[in-house]
């Protein structure tokens, strides 16, 4: 039986935000997927990238991917969500299962899309090492890109979102910058789940989450995530047209696999777009760099804040036409997450 999402034609409020987050994540990921590593190259190939496009044949990561194809950013988030739903709670074992299941699903040993920290951590897990130590070298942006379902489980509970984020980061990304960046995302989504939450409050929760998360994980190279968020926000709210501000974010904040850069840039474009999911996806694509990851993070937060009904129906249709997206049965994931939230509320 298919889950019931609408009553009297209206999407249930909690599911509106859950679906908004999951579909928002996929929107930002797939829409920004064809962007090039530098904004000059993206502009050369596409002009202003504001429509669905396949990856160019010379794309250094995504060559051959069709328009609307999600990548590891969304797949890992969905796999983590499925594992947590199956476990009935956020546990270290569920975190391990979620990432290893995804790795096996995509033949990670032979896939060019597996990030360095994830590959290192999964190989250590498969070798039988302790999942509490396998992530001690993980410092790239895999942690924040897949953490969105954890924020969904904690409406209004920033501390709870951060605590579960620490657990989920542990197997592959247990360095201070990675945990801090992931906690910024989960905390922002937790706050966005509150009815009527203002975008400024959502972003403030992200900064708070980054600071709380920085108390966890192995001390490692990397500047403050909260500083990078604030730097990006200053640019986003500053002078200049959107191209000029995007270029400043690219040049000054950064758009690489480095966690403070990724998360800072994501919050910057979220603010520039005033929280609109589609506009956030467009800005991520034209920012370039690790655009699909930045877009996935920013649009997950935007979707949590604005809700599923804020994502254009035409874009939902593009996502639902993607075979990889279809394989995750995202609406069932949303129903499972809603059930966990309801269960948690009954026990508190």
Residue with tokens 């706050």: 191
Q: Is the pLDDT of residue 7 over 60?
A: no
pLDDT recorded at residue 12: 86
Number of domains in the chain: 1
pLDDT recorded at residue 1: 37
21-40 confidence digits (pLDDT tens): 999 999 999 999 999 999 99
Q: Is residue 237 part of a domain?
A: yes
Q: Is residue 316 part of a domain?
A: yes
Half-sphere exposure (Cβ direction) of 52: Cα atoms closer than 13 Å? 19
| Structural domain span for residue 161 | 12-50+58-347
201-249 confidence digits (pLDDT tens): 999 999 999 999 999 999 999 999 999 999 999 999 999 999 999 999 9
Q: Is the pLDDT of residue 10 over 80?
A: no
- Supply the mean pLDDT for the chain: 96
Q: Is residue 321 part of a domain?
A: yes
Q: Is residue 1 part of a domain?
A: no
Q: Is residue 107 part of a domain?
A: yes
What would the mean pLDDT of 272-291 be, rounded to a whole number? 98
Q: Is residue 2 part of a domain?
A: no
- The span from the CA of 262 to the CA of 250, in Å, is 10
- The span from the CA of 99 to the CA of 47, in Å, is 36
pTM: 0.96
Q: What CATH number should be reported for the domain holding residue 44?
A: 1.10.4080.10
Q: Is residue 5 part of a domain?
A: no
**Whether 145 contacts 296, CB under 8 Å:** yes
Q: Is residue 6 part of a domain?
A: no
């Amino acid at each position: 039986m298919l889950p019931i999402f609408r009553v009297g034609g209206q999407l249930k409020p909690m599911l509106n935000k859950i679906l908004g987050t999951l579909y928002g994540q996929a929107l930002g990921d797939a829409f920004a997927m064809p962007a090039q590593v530098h904004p000059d190259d993206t502009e050369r190939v596409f002009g202003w990238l504001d429509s669905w496009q396949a990856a160019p044949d010379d794309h250094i990561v995504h060559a051959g991917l069709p328009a609307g194809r999600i990548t590891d950013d969304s797949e890992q988030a969905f796999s983590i969500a499925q594992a947590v739903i199956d476990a009935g709670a956020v546990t270290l074992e569920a975190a391990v299962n979620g990432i290893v299941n995804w790795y096996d699903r995509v033949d990670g040993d032979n896939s060019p899309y597996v990030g360095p920290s994830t590959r290192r951590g999964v190989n250590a897990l498969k070798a039988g090492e302790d999942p509490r130590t396998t992530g001690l070298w993980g410092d790239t942006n895999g942690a924040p890109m897949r953490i969105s379902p954890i924020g969904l489980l904690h409406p209004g509970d920033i501390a709870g979102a951060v605590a579960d984020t620490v657990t989920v980061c542990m197997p592959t990304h247990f360095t201070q910058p990675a945990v801090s960046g992931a906690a910024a995302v989960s905390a922002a989504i937790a706050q966005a789940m509150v009815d009527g939450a203002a975008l400024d409050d959502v972003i403030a929760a992200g900064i708070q989450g980054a600071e709380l998360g920085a108390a966890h994980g192995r001390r490692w190279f990397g500047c403050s995530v909260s500083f990078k968020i604030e730097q990006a926000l200053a640019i986003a709210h500053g002078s200049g047209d959107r191209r000029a501000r995007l270029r400043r974010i690219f040049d000054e904040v950064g758009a690489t696999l480095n966690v403070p850069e990724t998360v800072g840039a994501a919050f910057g474009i979220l603010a520039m777009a005033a929280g609109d999911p589609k506009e956030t996806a467009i800005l991520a694509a034209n920012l370039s760099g690790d655009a699909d990851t930045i877009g996935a993070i920013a649009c997950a937060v935007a979707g949590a804040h604005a809700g599923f009904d804020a994502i254009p129906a035409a874009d939902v249709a593009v996502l639902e036409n993607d075979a990889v997206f279809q394989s995750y049965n995202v609406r069932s994931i949303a129903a499972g997450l809603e059930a966990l939230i309801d269960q948690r509320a009954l026990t508190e």
